[in-house]
Structure 1
Amino acid sequence: MPEDGTLSGHCLCGAARFTARPKQMHMDVCHCGQCRRWSGGTWMTVECEPESLAVEDAGRIGVYASSDHAERGFCGTCGTTLYWRMKDGSLLTVSAQAFEAPERFAFASEIFIDRKPGNYAFANDTKKLTEAEVLAQFPEIAG
């Protein structure tokens, strides 16, 4: 890992290459309906310093405004989910699986646990937060 903590990653086809600096070396999972539909499962994510995201060829990235407060980035060629970020730039989460060597991230928490469907469960011992607990931490998205 570079001295500044920046890590590299890319999409499935390799067209969308990026670097970002994780805030911590752990992964969180979101079970909300939007993330499950967008990712095809759970959104396994690493919170990164918002200003650290650098895309090699920004023209390769598609951006979808999924709500009034957030947008989701994906490869415009293969469709790989890459990031979720607040439109105001205050929060950025990057797909853990898009980074090189994603196994380096410890599985720390699950959010929107009360929205998780009953047909799967993780065996890991994680911190679990409900929708109400998450929205209490981020009142700007609760509205």
Structure 2
Amino acid sequence: MKANGKCLCGSVELEVEMGNAEVTACHCSMCRKWSGGPMMALETSDILIISGESSVSRYHSSEWADRGFCVNCGTHLFYHLKPNNQYHVPVGLLSVEEEIDFSHQIFIDEKPNYYSFSNETKNMTGAEVFAHFEGEE
């Protein structure tokens, strides 16, 4: 499934091939600091076509990940897991025609108590997330 999106100012356009039609909410402290709340993202395959790359800045937020944003308008563009070259793109950035499902919440142990979602989802703690990715290597 393919989807397209662009930043607020239109300097950067993305074309992604999505691995599935499932949205994941990340409640880790870095995602909440970066986005002002949980990061709601679609997982993509390793195919991400970026038009306007000169307007993209990558912040190396950890040994294993980069966060991309538009240098002109500040729109959050992606979270990139370096070890497996996987991109997670904010769902609100993309024009998605297919029905998508809110299926997972990660770093649920870091979620503050001032919000919650009513959806039934698979929930993983930070330790479970790291164990999962270590198992993929």
TM-score over 0.5 for the alignment?
A: yes
Who is 2:27 aligned against? Answer: 31
Once the two structures are superposed, residues 77-106 of structure 1 have per-residue CA deviations (whole angstroms, 9 ceiling, x without a partner) of: 111111111224432111111101488321
Once the two structures are superposed, residues 32-90 of structure 1 have per-residue CA deviations (whole angstroms, 9 ceiling, x without a partner) of: 0000101111111111011x100111101111000111100111111111111122443
Tell me, yes or no, if the aligned pair for 1:84 and 1:93 is still in contact at 8 Å. Answer: yes
Of 103, 110, 122, the match for 1:108: 103
Q: Within 5 Å, give how 1:34-113 maps onto structure 2.
A: 34-50=30-46, 52-101=47-96, 104-113=99-108
Root-mean-square deviation (Å)? 1.7
Amino acid paired to 1:24? N
Q: How many angstroms apart in 1 are the aligned matches of 2:86 and 2:13?
A: 20
What secondary structure is seen at the aligned counterpart in 1 of 2:20? coil
Residues 87 and 12 of structure 1: CA distance in aligned 2, closer, same or farther (over 3 Å):
same
Who is 1:129 aligned against? Answer: 124
Which runs of at least 4 in structure 1 moved beyond 4 Å after TM superposition?
A: none
Amino acid paired to 1:133? E
Higher strand share: 2
Residues 129 and 83 of structure 1: CA distance in aligned 2, closer, same or farther (over 3 Å):
same
Percent of residue pairs identical = 37
Name the stretch that deviates more: 62-71 or 82-91: 82-91
Higher helix share: 1
Q: TM-score, normalised by structure 2?
A: 0.91
Unpaired stretches in structure 1, ≥5 consecutive residues: none
